[in-house]
Every structure is written in C-alpha cells, then in structure tokens.
C-alpha cells in the first residue's frame, strides 16, 4: 500500500498548492478517518507542518495506542480527544509528547480553558480521536478527507459528504476487490447497486462503479464532484474527487451515471443512452454484428457506472511537480502519473517525456503556494524568467503569460475565482471510455503488436489513442474493435510481404 500513501500525499500537496493565499491564512483541516498506526497523518504533519491541522481517527484501542507511540517516536505532540457523540460541548484536550518541550507545553496548558493558551500546542500537535468515523464526519467539517477502511467504503460516504466543505477533496481507497471486480455479483449489487463481470476492462469498470457510488452519496447532500485522479493498482482502487456545492452540479453528475452494453462474444462495449423510454433493439447500438451471427442473447448490461472522465490533466500536472518534492523523484510514482496524464490527454507517455524535462528546467526555485493560474501553476514555471510557454503535443496547450500575470490574483475577487461556471462543468468526456487488450485481439501469437506500436498506428489513422495504467498490454482508443482488427490484419499482411 506504499503507492497508495504516496498518491494521497501528492494529492494533498497538489491541493494545497492550488489554494489561493487567502485560504492559506487558516489551517487546512485534514482527516485520516481510518488511521490505524497513524502513518498517514504523521506524514502530512511532518511534510506540511503548520499549514495543515491533522486529525486522525480510529475506533480501536490498540490503534490509538500505536498512534500515540508512533507520534512519540517522531517527536510529534498528540492531542487526544475523548469524543462523545451525545454531548455537543467542547471536548477536553490531553497533550502527550516525546520531548521535554512538548511535555512542558502540555503542562503549561493543562487547564485548556482559553483558546489563546492552546493555540501554540494545537498547531504543533496531531489530534487523535478515539471514535467511529461516521460520528466525527457527521459533526465536523473538513477540507481534505481520506477514507481507507477495511473493505468497502460505501458505509462512510454519506457521512463524508455531509460536512466536507465546498472545494474540498475526498480521497477513497477501496480494497473490496472481490465485489468491485464482479467475483461476488450479489455483494456488488448490495453495496454499489451495480453489476459487473470479469472482462478485459474489469479494472476500469470497477473504478467507475466506485465513482458512481461516490456521486450518489454527494448528490444526496446537493453536491457534485469532479474526478481528479483514478487508479486501480495491486489490490485496491483509488479515487480522488473535488466537491462542488449546488443541486445543479449534483444533477449533472447523476446524469453521467449510465449502463454499459457488453457483448459477451467479442467483448465490444458501448454506453446505453440516458433515456426513460425503452430501447426497441439495444443490439443495434453495438458496433459489432455478433447478435446477427450468434443465436440467443449475446450481450449483457453492466453498471450503472460513471461515464465521465477519470482524470483532471491539470491536477495531475501539479501532482507530477509535487512528486519531486514529496518523494525525492520516486520513479514508480512519476511513471504512474505520467501514464495517467498521457491517458487523460490520449497521448503517448514518450511524447510527454521531453515536455516534462523542458518544464522541470524552468521550475521556480522559490516554488511556493502563491496564486498562479492554469497550466503555469501545474508546471511550476517561473513567470518572471519565462513569459511565453508553448507546449506542442496532441492537445496543443499553448498559452502566453504577460508581465501582469502576478497581479491577476490580487485584482480578481476571491469569490469570482472560486465560482465555477455550469457550462464548463457539464462537458463531454475528453478521453475514450475503456480499453482493448492487444494480446487478446491479435490474429496469432506471432502477429502480436506491441502497445506502443499500436498507439502510433491508431494515431496515424486519426484516432485518439494512448496506453493505460490499468493494463500494460492494453490500449485506450476511440476506434472500435472492428477498426482495430482491420488495422492489425493490414499490419500482418505488410509484415508477410516484407518477409
């Protein structure tokens, strides 16, 4: 689960770097709802110090003891709160520390009757709650919440979105792989109100099913979500979403939950239209002709699941820049994020490599959390030294920064910057849904085409294409399976003629 903790840390770092200066005047409230040993909360506090107010929560006596011991070993004060759900009075704080400074500070503030007496200790301490996660989530609001329970997280989603603040981020790690991957259909239906099968794109289907559960929970609180990061690695599924308050945002997100028609013969797939009227012949929506060649029901419905984008390219840009600071150029994490970024833009990871190399040479040496806009912030470019930037790839992200860019953050009103237009929120997905396994759809073993070669061939034909982190042998593309097979057959014929 190391990669999971690194993803959460980079998500929090990117979120803090995107906040305007007015928000950073107050501590960002962060909650690790299932802390266990307290490793996640300790990492946040050691990395971001007084910028964040870290709260760790667990309902196990052994876990609370381990959290206090680990904080003591790392010279971090703990602020243990005996939280009682029946009383709404202000709780009493008990301070514990490893060094003499923390202990002296705790004794000095033993009364805790006035806020002015505990402000210094509170900033340097981690708050430890011995309570159920649903209780604290229902009664307090946070800016950043991380859910990593044992198994499914659906039991905690309703409480999470009740008080999480507008513009905040919720990260969810689900480890109930058996239900998400369709091995236990009844459990999937009971927990996620969805149906899944073991297909070649089962990992992405699992991630979209988890996002659909997150969307429903947020919509109950009149909140919409924007998916920032999605990952399905090892034995977990990770999702990070940003909250947008408003019934309109909630309706837009709910409308993006659709069913998928999956052909059980060739594994072609298509989203079913969002219509209340029954479809006369749903098989006609599939680009294949298996229903004509084979008798019986050749297709099955999967879902409902999320049909929108799985990534925010600008946010992942920012995560890539923060990776170097948080993890000392962790190659595995950087490779994963580059793959996600190429996937979100449907470009190959190799094309993005020299772009990041060029951008990293112009990183601002005094990289801070000040206001910067758009891609300039995500790439970390020093605006005073370089006033024009041209990123030439398939997405053609070209922009110019003039000398007045630094003044934009001061001139614009904070509420205007935070407001998101509905038209910009309700946009069509920019990346093709699902992917195809190159080995499974090859003509013969000797005719297997490498994924990179397949991406180049598809892009040369005008299709969107990129590799995917869900499966190293698969390609995400806007082409249909029939078009892919025609291209593979043409490639095989050319190879025979050359030989």
pLDDT higher at 81 or 314? 314
Q: What is the DSSP string of 322-340?
A: HHHHHHSS-HHHHHHHHHH
Mean pLDDT score, 493-497: 63
Q: What is the pTM of this model?
A: 0.81
Q: How confident is the model at residue 103 (pLDDT cuts 50, 70, 90)?
A: very low
Q: CA separation (Å) from 346 to 349, 436, 475?
A: 9, 14, 10
Per DSSP, 341 falls in state H
pLDDT at 331 over 60: yes
pLDDT at 416 over 80: no
pLDDT of 54: 96
Beta strands at 397-400 and 77-81: parallel, antiparallel or unpaired: unpaired
Mean pLDDT of the chain: 79
pLDDT at 96 over 80: no
pLDDT of 385: 36
Mean pLDDT score, 5-20: 93
pLDDT higher at 494 or 99? 494
Which position has the token pair 């298509």? 270
pLDDT of 21: 73
pLDDT tens column, 270-299: 999 988 888 888 999 999 999 998 888 999
pLDDT of 429: 84
Mean pLDDT score, 481-498: 78
- How far, in Å, CA of 436 to CA of 288, rounded? 14
105, 106, 107, 110: CA torsion to nearest 10:
120
pLDDT of 355: 46
- How far, in Å, CA of 226 to CA of 492, rounded? 42
Smallest Cα–Cα separation from 220: which of 168, 143, 157, 141?
157
Mean pLDDT score, 36-52: 92
pLDDT of 487: 87
Q: How confident is the model at residue 82 (pLDDT cuts 50, 70, 90)?
A: low
Which position has the token pair 């630094």? 406
Beta strands at 388-391 and 436-437: parallel, antiparallel or unpaired: unpaired
Q: How confident is the model at residue 22 (pLDDT cuts 50, 70, 90)?
A: low
- How far, in Å, CA of 353 to CA of 208, rounded? 28
pLDDT of 422: 66
Mean pLDDT score, 377-406: 38
What angle in degrees, to the nearest 10, is found between the helix axes of 481-498 and 451-460? 100
pLDDT at 469 over 90: yes
pLDDT of 494: 72
Per DSSP, 23 falls in state G
Quote the percentage of the chain above a pLDDT of 90: 56
pLDDT of 268: 95
Cis status, amide bond into 5, omega within 30 of 0: no
pLDDT of 153: 95
Exposed / middle / buried, residue 445 (Cβ in 10 Å: 0-12, 13-18, 19+): exposed
Contact 451, 492 (CB under 8 A): no
pLDDT tens column, 350-370: 444 444 444 443 334 334 333
Q: CA separation (Å) from 215 to 240, 250, 252, 330, 441?
A: 12, 8, 10, 32, 34
Q: Which residues contact 82 (CB under 8 A, 6 or more apart)?
A: 91, 92, 94, 130
| Highest mean pLDDT (candidates 230-234, 378-382, 393-397) | 230-234
pLDDT tens column, 334-343: 999 999 999 9
pLDDT at 349 over 90: no
Smallest Cα–Cα separation from 323: which of 274, 367, 384?
367
- Judged by average pLDDT, the poorest of 39-43, 215-219, 308-312, 350-354 is 350-354
Mean pLDDT score, 157-168: 95
Helix/strand/coil (H, E, C) string of 367-411? CCCCCCCHHHHHHCECCCCCCEEEECCCCCEEEECCCCHHHHHHH
pLDDT at 114 over 60: no
Q: How confident is the model at residue 450 (pLDDT cuts 50, 70, 90)?
A: confident
């Amino acid at each position: 689960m190391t990669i999971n903790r690194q993803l959460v840390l980079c998500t929090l770092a990117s979120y803090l770097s995107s906040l305007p200066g007015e928000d950073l005047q107050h501590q960002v409230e962060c909650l690790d709802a299932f802390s266990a040993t307290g490793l996640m909360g300790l990492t946040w506090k050691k990395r971001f110090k007084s910028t964040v107010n870290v709260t760790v929560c667990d309902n196990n006596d052994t876990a609370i003891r381990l959290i206090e011991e680990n904080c003591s070993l790392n010279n971090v004060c703990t602020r243990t709160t005996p939280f009682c759900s029946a009383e709404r009075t202000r709780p009493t704080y008990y301070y514990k520390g490893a060094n003499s400074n923390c202990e002296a500070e705790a004794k000095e503030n033993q009364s805790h009757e006035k806020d002015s007496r505990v402000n210094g200790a509170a900033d340097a301490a981690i708050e430890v709650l011995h309570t159920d996660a649903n209780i604290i989530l229902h009664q307090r609001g946070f800016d950043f919440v991380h859910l990593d329970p044992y198994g499914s997280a659906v039991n905690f989603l309703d409480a999470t979105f009740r008080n999480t603040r507008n513009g905040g981020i919720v990260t969810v790690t689900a480890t109930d792989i058996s239900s998400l991957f369709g091995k236990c259909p009844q459990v999937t239906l009971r927990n996620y109100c969805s149906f899944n099968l073991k297909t070649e794109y089962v990992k992405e289907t699992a991630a979209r099913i988890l996002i659909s559960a997150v969307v429903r929970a947020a919509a109950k609180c009149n909140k919409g979500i924007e998916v920032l990061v999605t990952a399905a690695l090892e034995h977990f599924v990770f999702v990070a979403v940003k909250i947008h308050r408003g019934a309109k945002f909630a309706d837009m997100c709910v409308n993006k939950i659709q069913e998928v028609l999956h052909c059980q013969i060739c594994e072609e797939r298509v989203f079913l239209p969002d219509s209340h009227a029954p479809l006369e012949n749903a098989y006609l929506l599939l680009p294949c002709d298996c229903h004509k060649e084979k008798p019986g029901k050749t297709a099955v419905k999967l879902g409902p699941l999320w049909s929108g984008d799985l990534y925010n390219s600008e946010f992942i840009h920012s995560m890539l820049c923060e990776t170097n600071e948080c993890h000392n150029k962790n190659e595995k994490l950087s490779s994963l994020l580059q793959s996600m970024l190429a996937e979100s833009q449907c470009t190959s990871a190799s094309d993005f490599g020299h772009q990041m190399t060029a951008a990293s040479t112009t990183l601002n040496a005094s990289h801070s959390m000040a206001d910067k806009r758009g891609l300039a912030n995500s790439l970390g470019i020093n605006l005073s030294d370089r006033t024009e930037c041209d990123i030439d790839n398939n997405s053609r992200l070209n922009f110019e920064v003039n000398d007045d860019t630094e003044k934009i953050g001061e001139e614009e009103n904070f509420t205007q910057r935070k407001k998101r237009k509905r038209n910009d929120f309700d946009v069509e997905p920019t990346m093709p849904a699902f992917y195809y396994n190159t080995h499974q759809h090859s003509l013969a073993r000797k005719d297997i085409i490498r994924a990179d070669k397949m991406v180049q061939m598809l892009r040369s034909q005008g299709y969107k294409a990129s590799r995917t982190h869900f499966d190293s042998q698969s390609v995400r593309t806007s082409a249909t399976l029939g078009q892919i097979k025609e291209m593979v057959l043409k490639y095989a014929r050319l190879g025979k003629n050359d030989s």
